[in-house]
């Protein structure tokens, strides 16, 4: 123990020893290995959502195996750990076993139900003090850059989006959908299945005052060619920008300029007619969604008890919109309710909303919480809720909601020392 003479110095040293010096030392090699595996997992989750190379599942399994004892020891510690236990262990195991009993399909239910366990990686990130916010957002910027560069190369005549070998491969493997023409309001349709994740990235960059990066993500959301991405992206960008601006005059000015700019582009480029053409191309998809919900309700009418117990992850119902039996549909919330039943659905929704409410309640980085809520809203018509994509976003939110709070405490301590 270092000798400390003054009473005030003794108190300060005791405080530092308790809050900083007592943090457990970690093996540098093990930390590096875990960080590399997190990079591999996150990159493949964002760029290859269908996991064609199996790197996403392989890296996840390796992370769990490397840290299984630590995860077990961590359980039931900390305010957020109980929710992680319920969402990441109890719910997946219970719903997988129940789904297997209902459908008899072990492999399919296991592959659909395990995704909740991804939240267990929170322990790895917290133990090794890994900056997962940086990993997550760098991968999003890489995705946005790829989309924008692909469009620029097409626009200048260097390489068509239909001839781009990476985009063609992603399209053939169902990781992306591509299109081009006046029927799309941006002129392009470069929809990589995980582009909605960039909505939370926009708020992160604005919060850090990285406006060029926020604009890059916004451009990629617009070029993805979907109404939901464009509307939610523009809305999150405008709201977060206004909220982060401290001066009231500047807030009003930004709102007025945004309205003027929007009106100018609507009139200049006749965007109403462009949107009308685009809406026609989406009409069939909207009609399918409108008939999907009554189809789900009819499956409950046929088996009323399944509304409470669930029908199983791999269970199918007759979708009148597509006129065939289906298991995966775009209405994420309704389909999850159909699969797991009312009780499990409520518990899962509590898990999804927990970090956002925690952040808003304590007024910590609330623009990120608002963007996350916008992402959850977009999941209503996108199958990106209880998937590796949706749970990875949830993992990211747990990290910035709870781990970053600890970082802020340490930063405040260092500021106190310097003063």
**pLDDT tens track for 329-352:** 989 999 999 999 999 999 999 999
First to last CA, the chain: 24
- Helix-strand-coil percent breakdown of the chain, rounded to 5? 75, 5, 25
- Summarised one tens digit per residue, pLDDT across range 53-79 is 999 999 999 999 999 998 888 876 766
pLDDT at 94: 97
Q: What is the mean pLDDT of residues 350-370?
A: 84
**How many angstroms separate the CA atoms of 415 and 417, rounded?**
5
Task: List residues bridging with 192 in a β-sheet.
Answer: 176
Question: pLDDT tier at 7 (50, 70, 90 boundaries)?
Answer: low
Above 70 in pLDDT, residue 19? no
pLDDT at 8: 56
* Reduced 3-state DSSP string for 364-396: CCHHHHHHHHHHHHHHHHCCCCCCHHHHHHHHH
**How many angstroms separate the CA atoms of 282 and 191, rounded?**
14
Between residues 3 and 121, the one the model is more confident about? 121
Q: Give which of 375, 410, 405 is closest to 391, Cα–Cα.
A: 375
Q: What is each CA distance from 397 to 71, 91, 176, 244, in whole angstroms?
A: 19, 19, 25, 19
Above 90 in pLDDT, residue 375? yes
Q: What is the mean pLDDT of residues 212-236?
A: 91
Above 50 in pLDDT, residue 212? yes
Q: What is the mean pLDDT of residues 382-399?
A: 95
Worst-scoring range by mean pLDDT, 305-314, 339-348, 378-387? 378-387
pLDDT at 311: 97
For the beta carbon of residue 18, count every other beta carbon within 10 angstroms: 9
Task: List residues bridging with 190 in a β-sheet.
Answer: 178
189 DSSP 8-state letter: E
């Amino acid at each position: 123990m270092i000798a400390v003479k003054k009473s005030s110095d003794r108190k300060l040293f005791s405080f530092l020893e308790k809050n900083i010096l007592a943090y457990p030392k970690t093996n540098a090699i093990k930390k590096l290995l875990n960080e590399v595996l997190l990079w591999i997992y996150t990159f493949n989750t964002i760029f290859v959502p269908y996991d064609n190379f199996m790197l996403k599942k392989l890296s996840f399994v390796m992370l769990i195996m490397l840290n299984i004892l630590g995860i077990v020891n961590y359980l039931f510690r900390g305010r957020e750990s109980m929710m992680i236990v319920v969402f990441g262990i109890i719910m997946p195991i219970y719903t997988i076993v129940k789904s297997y009993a209902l459908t008899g399909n072990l492999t399919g239910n296991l592959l659909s139900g395990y995704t909740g366990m991804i939240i267990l990686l929170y322990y790895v990130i917290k133990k090794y003090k890994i900056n997962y916010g940086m990993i997550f957002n760098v991968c999003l910027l890489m995705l946005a850059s790829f989309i924008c560069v692909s469009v620029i190369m097409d626009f200048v005549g260097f390489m068509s989006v239909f001839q781009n070998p990476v985009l063609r491969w992603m399209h053939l493997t169902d990781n992306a959908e591509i299109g081009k023409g006046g029927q799309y309001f941006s002129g392009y349709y470069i929809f990589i299945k995980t582009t909605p994740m960039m909505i939370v990235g926009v708020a992160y960059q604005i919060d850090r005052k990285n406006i060029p990066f926020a604009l890059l993500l916004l451009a990629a959301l617009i070029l993805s060619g979907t109404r939901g991405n464009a509307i939610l992206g523009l809305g999150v960008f405008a709201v977060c920008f206004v909220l982060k601006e401290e001066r009231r005059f500047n807030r009003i000015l930004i709102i007025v300029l945004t309205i003027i700019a929007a009106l100018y582009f609507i009139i200049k480029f006749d965007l109403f007619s462009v949107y009308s053409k685009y809406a026609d191309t989406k009409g069939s998809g909207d009609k399918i969604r409108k008939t999907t919900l009554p189809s789900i309700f009819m499956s409950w009418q046929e088996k009323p008890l399944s509304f409470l117990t669930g029908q199983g992850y791999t269970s199918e119902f007759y979708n009148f919109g597509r006129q065939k039996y289906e298991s995966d549909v775009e209405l994420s919330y309704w389909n999850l309710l159909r699969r797991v039943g009312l009780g499990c659905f409520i518990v899962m929704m509590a898990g999804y909303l927990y970090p956002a409410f925690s952040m808003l309640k304590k007024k910590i980085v609330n623009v990120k919480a608002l963007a996350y809520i916008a992402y959850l809203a977009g999941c209503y018509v996108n199958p990106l809720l209880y998937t590796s994509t949706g749970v990875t976003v949830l993992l990211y939110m747990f990290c910035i909601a709870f781990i970053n709070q600890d970082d802020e405490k340490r930063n405040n301590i260092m500021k106190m020392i310097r003063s």
